[in-house]
Amino acid sequence: MKSNLLLAFAVVLTGGTAVMTGAWAAGAEFAGPGPTVTGNSVGGIFPYRPAPAAVYREIAESHCARYGRVAKVTSIPHGYGDYVGFVCYDRPGVIH
């Protein structure tokens, strides 16, 4: 009985490890902020890099355009390890 329980535990542990390894290898965008834009139709974040403000606006606009929306950058921190934040909103007169 005890050996069956240990065998079941080993199978579950091995299977879980294989699934997580495969997910990380595939990109694992669900795991949190990554090196590119992380967000959805409401807005998102991307890592801060020293650049003119227009670059941040272009990055946010290209993300929001996938949802047919307009972007507004809401925060530009000035430190490495921080994230630029933005929101996506509907164009005036657009009804979903």
Instruction: Name the pLDDT band for 36 (thresholds 50, 70, 90).
Output: confident
Q: What average pLDDT does range 40-50 have in this prediction?
A: 93
Q: What is the pLDDT of residues 7-34, one digit of tens each?
A: 666 555 565 554 455 545 554 445 556 6
Taking the C-alpha atoms of residue 28 and residue 51, their distance in angstroms, rounded to an integer, is 27
- Cα Rg of the chain (Å, integer): 20
- Classify residue 17 as exposed, middle or buried by CB count within 10 Å of its CB (0-12, 13-18, 19+): exposed
Interval 62-79: pLDDT, tens: 999 999 999 999 999 988
CA-to-CA separations, 95 to 7, 10, 63, 64, in angstroms, rounded = 57, 53, 20, 16
pTM, two decimal places: 0.63
